[in-house]
């Protein structure tokens, strides 16, 4: 599967490089991601005309074997809007035609690049959200992986690893 639905566990919302870097540092890093000779999506390889059509996508792994989960930032890539949206497809966004056609387009794109029927996509999404609900209940440690070097430029002490519990309403 080229692209999987994998919503970020709720306790980890806002844990992303952009949140943890000053704007100037983020801008510099963001620019370094672009290959201006080949502006294309890292997932579906679609070519785009402008850098602004590519969106930063952080690829995290989630290790839930221990008492606490460990979220590790594995890589950062640039992808098109449809792939970015596809990874975060929401249960409320599938299937139904809307006036804008934006969301059905994301669903169609997801099915096309994965060579997957809509029915198989629905099953995959159901499973993904079951996993997500389990992950929401965990305490997490954030591991910035090789990107911690980047954060070290700005912080004497890294803002991770940090343990934190899910918010009360999610438990
Ligand atoms: Zn794409």
Indicate the pTM of the whole model: 0.85
Q: Calculate what percentage of the chain has a pLDDT beyond 70.
A: 85
Query: What is the crossing angle of helices 118-136 and 102-113, to 10°?
Result: 100
CB 48 within 8 A of CB 39: yes
**Residue 107: inside a domain:** yes
The secondary structure element, H or E, covering residue 142 is strand 140-143
- Output the furthest CA–CA distance in the chain (Å, rounded): 50
Q: List the domain range (segments joined by +) for residue 112.
A: 10-162
pLDDT band at 170 (very low <50, low <70, confident <90, very high): very low
Tell me the CA–centroid distance for residue 59 and ligand 1, in Å.
14
- Which tens digits make up the pLDDT trace of 45-80? 999 999 999 999 999 999 999 888 999 999 999 999
- Tell the residue number behind the tokens 């994965």, with chain if given: 114
Tell me the CA–centroid distance for residue 25 and ligand 1, in Å.
26
Tell me the CA–centroid distance for residue 60 and ligand 1, in Å.
18
**Residue 1: inside a domain:** no
- Which tens digits make up the pLDDT trace of 77-134? 999 999 998 888 765 544 444 444 457 888 999 999 999 999 999 999 999 999 999 9
Closest Cα to residue 71, out of 128, 127, 14? 14
Q: Which tokens hold the place of 48?
A: 């785009």
**Domain count for the chain:** 1
List the single range of 20-24, 39-43, 148-152 with lowest mean pLDDT.
148-152
Asked whether the predicted pLDDT for residue 34 surpasses 80, the reply is yes
**Residue 167: inside a domain:** no
Instruction: For residues 138-151, give the mean pLDDT.
Output: 89
**Residue 131: inside a domain:** yes
**Residue 108: inside a domain:** yes
Res 171: pLDDT: 38
Tell me the CA–centroid distance for residue 86 and ligand 1, in Å.
9
Distance from C-alpha of 66 to C-alpha of 8, rounded to nearest angstrom: 18
Q: DSSP letter string over 96-115?
A: ---SS-HHHHHHHHHHHHTT
Tell me the CA–centroid distance for residue 157 and ligand 1, in Å.
36
Residues 6 or more apart in contact with residue 7 via CB below 8 angstroms: 88, 90, 128, 129, 132
**Residue 51: inside a domain:** yes
Res 39: pLDDT: 95
Tell me the CA–centroid distance for residue 56 and ligand 1, in Å.
11
pLDDT band at 28 (very low <50, low <70, confident <90, very high): very high
Tell me the CA–centroid distance for residue 145 and ligand 1, in Å.
24
Tell me the CA–centroid distance for residue 140 and ligand 1, in Å.
29
**Residue 82: inside a domain:** yes
**Residue 4: inside a domain:** no
Res 162: pLDDT: 59
Tell me the CA–centroid distance for residue 10 and ligand 1, in Å.
24
């Amino acid at each position: 599967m080229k692209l999987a639905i994998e919503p970020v566990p709720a306790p980890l919302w806002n844990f992303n490089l952009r949140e943890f870097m000053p704007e100037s540092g983020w801008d510099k890093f963001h620019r370094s991601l672009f290959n201006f000779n080949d502006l294309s999506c890292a997932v579906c390889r679609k070519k785009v005309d402008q850098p602004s059509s590519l969106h930063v996508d952080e690829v995290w792994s989630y290790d839930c074997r221990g008492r606490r989960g460990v979220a590790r930032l594995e890589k950062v890539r640039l992808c098109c809007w449809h792939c970015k949206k596809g990874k975060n497809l929401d249960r409320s966004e599938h299937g139904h035609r809307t006036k804008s056609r934006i969301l059905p387009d994301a669903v169609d794109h997801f099915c096309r690049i994965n060579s997957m029927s809509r029915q198989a996509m629905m099953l995959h999404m159901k499973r993904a959200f079951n996993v997500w609900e389990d992950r929401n209940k965990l305490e997490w440690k954030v591991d910035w992986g090789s990107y911690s070097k980047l954060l070290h430029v700005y912080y004497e002490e890294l803002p991770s690893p940090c343990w934190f519990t899910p918010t009360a309403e999610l438990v």
